[in-house]
Amino acid sequence: MSLIVQKYGGTSVASIACMMHVARKIKATQSAGHDVVVVVSAMGDETDRLEGLAFQITEQPMAREMDVLLATGEQVSIALLSMALQSIGCAAKSYTGFQVGIHTDTAHTRARIEHIEEAKIREDLERGFVVVVAGFQGIDANGNITTLGRGGSDTTAVALAATLKADECQIYTDVDGVYTADPRMVPDARRMPRVTFDEMLEMASLGAQVLQIRAVEFAGKYNVPLRVLSTFKEGSGTLITFEEKGMEQPIVSGLAFSREEAKLIIRGVPDKPGIAGQILGPISEAHIEVDMIIQNLGDDGNTDFTFTVHRRDYDRARAILEKIDKELNAKGILGDAKIAKVSLVGVGMRSHAGIASTMFEVLGKEGINIQLISTSEIKVSVVVDEKYLELGVRTLHEAFRLHEEPYEEDYEHRLRA
């Protein structure tokens, strides 16, 4: 007998009709012979609504009270879902984070799970219950209710799956898997039957926002097979696992993009030790995260120093740079907030040189200028003018034939084996 943890997000339990649908899915899983632990989020936009109420009182509500408030959303869901299960003849029992024993640190509104008690869940499963656990919440050592940060139910599900050594952690959501590119931009983007944790982390941080990044990291760390599936559409979704030795990998698995970047250049800074630190030190002290960094030597012995930040930090970063420009007696600041980053991701790239050059050629043929480049073992990213984003993404998707199913049969075969 296997144990499956299923997580249903807010849109999956947004109404009683949705809850009944979810209940039938859970019952079917149990009838197929699995033990099932379910994690649920608050209904629809309930968490936003609750936050809104708090902000009507004060701009800075106490974090402790915020947690008490926000945790109510999930408590409603677990009770209703358990009732829904019972109404169709499926024995179920709901637990808040406190009741089941999800112990966290004391960092209100962004707590980290420290450990989870197993005994009660095991006992209930043995007696044939579906165990329904509130996502996103826990309890600290002093008995205070804590929450894990927005979107935290994914993390609850993965943590439970890790603790219980579940065979799979299934994240049910409103998309039916992870795609080779955002299907809203690339109509023939293809659902990937499986991706590795490393690829998923690259895709997630680059804008393919299907799963909470923290949950993917957690699952990778504890080796929990994670599957993303749709609540409303049948299918096997996307399985996120470790790379299997000997498994054939598509060279490029997917394509991610982000419009959230901005570029800053400080021109004509002296080419000597310590300068990069002098420029980026104040930026990091202001808690501004830097993504790509490029420095090139001009023929006058000075260098231009370029980096990218999140667009929301652009003005702040620019103001800091203006100061540094004066201190270093540099040649001024240039900036551009209308850029986009496009990345090819694939573990198969490790063993294949030439992906980057093919990418550059393809973009060049379309007349798309590449402003910045960065690479890692499994990724090549370029920054281009935002107005070329769609063209670039579509052209690359086509050129790397991501719409074709490379090893689909192979995957399915292996999954069944």
Decide: is 75 part of the binding site for ligand ASP (CB under 6 A): no
The residue of the chain with the least Cβ separation from Mg ion equals 10
CB nearer to Mg ion: give 41 or 156.
41
Decide: is 42 part of the binding site for ligand ASP (CB under 6 A): yes
For ligand ASP, the binding residue among 129, 136, 179, 218 (CB under 6 A) is 136
Choose the contact partner of 136 out of ligand ASP, Mg ion, none; CB within 5 to 8 A by kind: ligand ASP
* C-alpha torsion 63→69→71→72, nearest 10: 180
Whether residue 113 contacts residue 100, with contact meaning beta carbons closer than 8 Å, is answered with no
89, two tokens = 């003849």
Q: How far is the CB of 215 from ligand ASP (least distance, A)?
A: 9
Cβ-Cβ contacts under 8 Å for 144 (sequence gap 6 or more): 64, 67, 106, 108
CB nearer to ligand ASP: give 200 or 339.
200
Strand 113-116 with 102-104, pairing: antiparallel
CB nearer to ligand ASP: give 212 or 306.
212
Question: Which helix (H) or strand (E) is 55 found in, with range?
Answer: helix 46-57
CB nearer to Mg ion: give 10 or 250.
10
The residue of the chain with the least Cβ separation from ligand ASP equals 153
Choose the contact partner of 12 out of Mg ion, ligand ASP, none; CB within 5 to 8 A by kind: none
CB nearer to ligand ASP: give 39 or 266.
39
Piece of 112-120, 150-158, 190-198, 269-277 that binds ligand ASP (CB under 6 A) = 150-158
CB nearer to ligand ASP: give 9 or 348.
9
Decide: is 220 part of the binding site for ligand ASP (CB under 6 A): no
CB nearer to Mg ion: give 134 or 255.
134
Decide: is 135 part of the binding site for ligand ASP (CB under 6 A): yes
Q: How far is the CB of 22 from Mg ion (least distance, A)?
A: 15
- Name residues contacting Mg ion, limited to 29-48 (CB under 5 A): 41
Choose the contact partner of 73 out of ligand ASP, Mg ion, none; CB within 5 to 8 A by kind: ligand ASP
Choose the contact partner of 250 out of ligand ASP, Mg ion, none; CB within 5 to 8 A by kind: none
Q: How far is the CB of 374 from Mg ion (least distance, A)?
A: 33
Decide: is 303 part of the binding site for ligand ASP (CB under 6 A): no
Count Cβ atoms within 10 A of the Cβ of residue 167 and give its class: 0-12 exposed, 13-18 middle, 19 or more buried: middle
CB nearer to Mg ion: give 148 or 206.
148
Decide: is 151 part of the binding site for ligand ASP (CB under 6 A): yes
CB nearer to ligand ASP: give 10 or 193.
10
Q: How far is the CB of 107 from Mg ion (least distance, A)?
A: 20
Decide: is 193 part of the binding site for ligand ASP (CB under 6 A): no
For ligand ASP, the binding residue among 12, 47, 104, 253 (CB under 6 A) is 47
For ligand ASP, the binding residue among 12, 153, 173, 371 (CB under 6 A) is 153
Residue ranges with strand state E in 167-209: 168-173, 194-196
Decide: is 152 part of the binding site for ligand ASP (CB under 6 A): yes
Residues that bind Mg ion (CB under 5 A): 10, 41
Residues that bind ligand ASP (CB under 6 A): 9-10, 41-42, 47, 73, 135-136, 150-153
